[in-house]
Amino acid sequence: MTKKFSFILSVFLALSAFFGLLLCPAASTGGARTGLLLCSGVIIPSLFPFMVIGNLFLDMGIPHKLGKIFSPIAKKLFGVSGAGSAAFFLGLAGGYPLGAICISEMYSKGTLKKAEAERLLSFCNNSGPAFIVSVAGSAVFGSVQIGFFLYGAHIIGAILTGMLLRKKNDSSTSESLPINPVSFSSAFTESIKRSAATMVTVCGFVVFFSVLVGLLDGSLASLSGSISARFGTELHFSRSLLTGILELGTGTSSMLGLSTNAENLALCSFIIGWGGISVHAQAAAVVREGGLSPAWHTFGKLLHGVLSALITLFAYPLFF
């Protein structure tokens, strides 16, 4: 019954998208253009270099070395082996979905056990400073200082998520195992190839969900009005929330024009912490290919979004 319902729903959504593209060509074209601009202007410049470095680190066994250094801290804070710290740091530096990519690669290489890898997904796949500071802070709210404030809330939210979801005395954690040494030239070449292939997938998801947001423009406007009437929120606020639930970049950019106050910044923190369904789809595509379940990732990102919003809401009066 479940499989039949899933099949019917998939067919319905596919047909709806097909007719939407036919009936609303201007909206779909505009959405695609927005997605492509986001990819070329933000995602590729900020993510691709870190993706190459991340893959290079993995091939050269850097997580094994980091595991020895950070193992005591990682086990105490998060209940995981030290090897996972590489994914955490790279995710915070490079942005979505680099953390998920690193975890999937480490699991494939045998550096992480399955249960530990899936739990790491809950707090290691995060946004990076290039997006938060440049886009959310500078472009949307007109302040680099606001961007760093949001980035700080994002980091603290990720740490708290990992601490809240830790398991004491967990036998699923693994010791960081060394991998066979690979020459730098070979590792660098493979890193470029894998990163380029993954980048195409990531941008594909971003463009598709940007088109989806464009096609749902009328529905989102109507639903935003209902939410605003129900909860007394500003229409612009409700619209950004709904857009951000679907797609991170479009949702964050849609906040342009909102005043810089605690509530609006908390919304921005939630959108960034949650990541949007687009990021969830990117992460799911990566981890399922490696044999992992995205369930922990979905729950962790929801918790991360809520915690980041609360941190922003209560910390704002202390800094501004």
Do 68 and 84 contact (CB within 8 A), yes or no? no
Any idea of the CA torsion for 79, 80, 84, 89, to the nearest 10 degrees?
10
pTM for the model stands at 0.87
Sorted by sequence, the CB contacts under 8 Å of residue 318 that are 6+ apart come out as none
Do 77 and 259 contact (CB within 8 A), yes or no? no
pLDDT tens track for 176-230: 555 566 778 888 898 899 889 888 988 988 888 888 888 877 778 888 888 888 8
Residue 83 scores a pLDDT above 90: no
CA-based nearest residue to 90, from 134, 43, 136, 127: 127
Give the amino acid at 186: S
CA-based nearest residue to 194, from 104, 90, 115, 294: 104
Q: Is 83 helix (H, G, I), strand (E, B) or coil?
A: coil
Q: How far apart are the first and last CA of the chain?
A: 54
Percent of the chain residues topping a pLDDT of 90: 42
pLDDT tens track for 111-139: 888 999 999 999 999 999 989 998 999 99
Segments making up each domain of the chain, as ranges? 43-166+177-319
CA-based nearest residue to 215, from 190, 237, 243: 243
Mean pLDDT of 280-303: 93
Instruction: Please state the three-class secondary structure of 163-180 as a single string.
Output: HHCCCCCCCCCCCCCCCC
